Each structure stands twice: as C-alpha cells, then as structure tokens.
Homo-oligomer: A and B are copies of this chain.
Amino acid sequence: MAESLMETNASCGGPDSRAVAARLAALSHPARIEILKHLSTSNSCCCREVVDRFDLAQSTVSQHLKILVEAGLVRFEPDRQRSRYAIDHAALADISASVAALVNSCCSGR
C-alpha cells in the first residue's frame, strides 16, 4: 500500500516520508516489537494471550494492538467474545522494503 500522492510540501517532508514515518512509528516501541514476534509464533492470538505473556495491563496491550492494527501491520478479526490478531506478513514485508528503499536512496547519493 504505497502512497504515491504528490504534495508540494517543502516544509516538512514529502508525503512518502510521512507515510514511512507513520508506519515506522508503530514499530518503534519495544513492547510492540515483542508483540509482533509473539504473534508470529502462533498464527492467531487473542488479547488475553498477549496480556498473559507480557507484564502489561490489559488496557495497555489492547492499545498497542490497536496501534499495530491501525498501522496495518496486524489484522484484526472479532471471534465470539475474543479478538483474533494476526500478523499481516505482506505489510511487514512492505515496511522492510520501504526501509530498504530509503536506505538505498540515501546511498545512491554518492
């Protein structure tokens, strides 16, 4: 889901930078990284499972999961009274590619 908008915004970063920054922000928290890793171990996880695994309040975990979902890194699917969370591998691969592209563009300058 690469945003290819064209904004002539000289002030603070092109639209691309903003999109990349937003997704990286979701990744830039140790708890969320660990949650992602945990989600990868089982193909689907409920909130309670994560709460049991990490030493965080249920509301805190719920917020982290929400952030991951809103960033598109995790898919959400309600299941009875549970909430199933699963990694979106494509989105993760996309982020990895975005970072690689950014790094690459920074190296091409010389």
State the A residues within 8 Å of B (CB): 1-2, 5-6, 9-14, 17-18, 20-22, 24-25, 27-34, 36-37, 39-43, 53-56, 87, 89, 92-93, 95-96, 99-100, 102-103, 105-110
Q: Tell me the complex Cα distance, A24–B34, Å.
A: 14
* B39 and A6 contacting across the interface, CB-CB below 8 Å: no
* B55 and A9 contacting across the interface, CB-CB below 8 Å: yes
Q: How far is the CB of A26 from chain B (nearest CB, A)?
A: 8
Jot down 30 A-B pairs with beta carbons below 8 A, ordered by A.
A2-B31, A6-B30, A9-B55, A10-B55, A11-B53, A11-B56, A12-B31, A12-B55, A13-B34, A17-B34, A17-B37, A20-B30, A21-B30, A24-B27, A24-B28, A25-B25, A25-B28, A36-B102, A36-B106, A39-B106, A40-B105, A40-B110, A89-B106, A93-B103, A95-B99, A96-B96, A96-B99, A96-B100, A99-B99, A100-B100
